């Protein structure tokens, strides 16, 4: 098997898994309990949280543990909108967002919120002028992903935050799921930010929401105080420690890992560009971990399935997207529905080997000859 779908999920780092198992075996108490075992677990939870906060450059009280980015996005969007409903019900977002953002916004629309989508330029970034045009005094929330999961486009978060600064009632949510370990994290002017460790060699079922400490949001899970008043539930100490370990490894090794991935991306672009029907959808300045392409005349699902039959794992759109529909992200940059239907995504890791890349290119050639008429 050749795994080229690392933007959907990454293999857990052995050191991360070891940290989780060691913690689960060592600390048997509930961190909320008042006995010695509970206090020991609480102290370790505080240590892990402080470590995460230091790595992200925030305060420990700004860390909210969740089950993953989908929960983090829902908590941020619904929590902000519900806490701000006395101010306004207007929300801005983009066509590039993950389905957990889109789904949350649809639910908020059913509750009376109004959602407008900001235009995307041909380079895949938010149109700042259109953002300015759409902003209103009753706009209470803007949600933009830091890195698009299908194209790998890096959004101008600082510039967006600067535009929003003139609208003090508008909170800024950033889904950084695809950004951690791939590009610099921007928190200036950001009110909430989602993080998913399973995208950077952490464990599935764990996540973070970074929330500015003076921001009040409505909880979505009720039941009492945990590590925060904003998310009830027994603190998952092992997962917290595993997040701290995965985040530390991702940030400390980011430069070396990214250089490796960039080299592989460049090699693939050079080889695949020789095929007449291949069109690259990811811009040159996208994170190198994501390479979106289309093979003209062949549906993305057909090419993906042909590769899968030969043991190659790639994706059509993000793993959580609706099947048999064109990629909204690719359509936004190409304005070509057929091209969007033909698109699929290779997503790379520093673990991707030269042997895997060579074998993938051979298999791609076979599929191309079979499917392109």
Active site residues: 320
Q: Taking the CA of residue 273 as centre, how many other CA atoms within 13 Å lie in the half-sphere pointing to its CB?
A: 10
Q: Which of 314, 260, 307 is nearest to 288 (CA)?
A: 260
Please write down the long-range contacts of 258-267, taking CB distance under 8 Å and 24 or more positions apart.
258/181, 258/182, 258/287, 258/288, 258/289, 258/350, 260/350, 261/288, 261/289, 261/348, 261/349, 261/350, 261/352, 262/288, 264/288, 264/348, 264/352, 264/357, 265/289, 265/291, 265/348, 267/357
Give the Cα separation of 122 and 176 in Å (integer). Answer: 22
Q: Which of 278, 338, 251, 283 is nearest to 96 (CA)?
A: 283
The bridge status of strand 139-145 relative to strand 90-93 is parallel
């Amino acid at each position: 098997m050749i795994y080229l779908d690392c933007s959907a999920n990454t293999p857990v780092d052995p050191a991360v898994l070891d940290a989780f198992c060691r913690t689960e075996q060592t600390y048997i108490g509930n961190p909320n309990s008042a006995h010695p075992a509970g206090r020991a677990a609480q102290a370790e939870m505080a240590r892990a949280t402080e470590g995460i906060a230091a790595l992200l450059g925030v305060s420990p009280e700004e860390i909210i543990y969740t089950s993953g980015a989908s929960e983090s996005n829902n908590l941020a969007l619904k929590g902000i909108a519900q806490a701000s409903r006395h101010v306004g019900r207007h929300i801005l977002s983009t066509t590039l967002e993950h389905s957990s953002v889109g789904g949350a916004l649809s639910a908020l629309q059913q509750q009376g919120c109004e959602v407008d989508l900001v235009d995307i330029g041909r380079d895949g970034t938010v149109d700042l002028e259109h953002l300015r045009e759409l902003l209103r005094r009753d706009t209470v929330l803007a949600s933009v992903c830091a890195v698009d999961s299908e194209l790998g486009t890096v959004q101008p978060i600082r510039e967006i935050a600067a535009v929003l600064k003139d609208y003090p009632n508008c909170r800024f949510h950033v889904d950084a799921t695809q950004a951690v370990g791939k590009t610099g994290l921007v928190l200036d002017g950001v009110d909430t930010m989602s993080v998913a460790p399973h995208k950077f060699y952490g464990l599935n079922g764990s996540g973070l929401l970074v929330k500015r400490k003076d921001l009040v949001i409505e909880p979505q899970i009720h039941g009492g105080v945990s590590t925060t008043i904003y998310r009830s539930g027994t603190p998952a100490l092992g997962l917290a420690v595993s997040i701290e370990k995965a985040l530390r490894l991702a940030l400390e090794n980011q430069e070396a890992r990214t250089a490796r991935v960039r080299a592989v991306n460049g090699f693939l672009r050079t080889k695949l560009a020789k095929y007449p029907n291949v069109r690259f959808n990811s811009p040159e300045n996208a994170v190198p971990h994501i390479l979106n392409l289309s093979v003209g005349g062949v549906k993305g699902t057909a090419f993906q399935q042909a590769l899968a039959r030969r043991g190659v794992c790639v994706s059509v759109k993000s793993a959580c997207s609706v099947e048999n529909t064109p990629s909204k992200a690719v359509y936004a940059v190409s304005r070509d529905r057929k091209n969007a239907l033909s698109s699929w995504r290779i997503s790379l890791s520093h673990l991707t080997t030269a042997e895997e890349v060579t074998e993938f290119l051979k298999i791609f050639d076979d599929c191309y000859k079979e499917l392109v008429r």
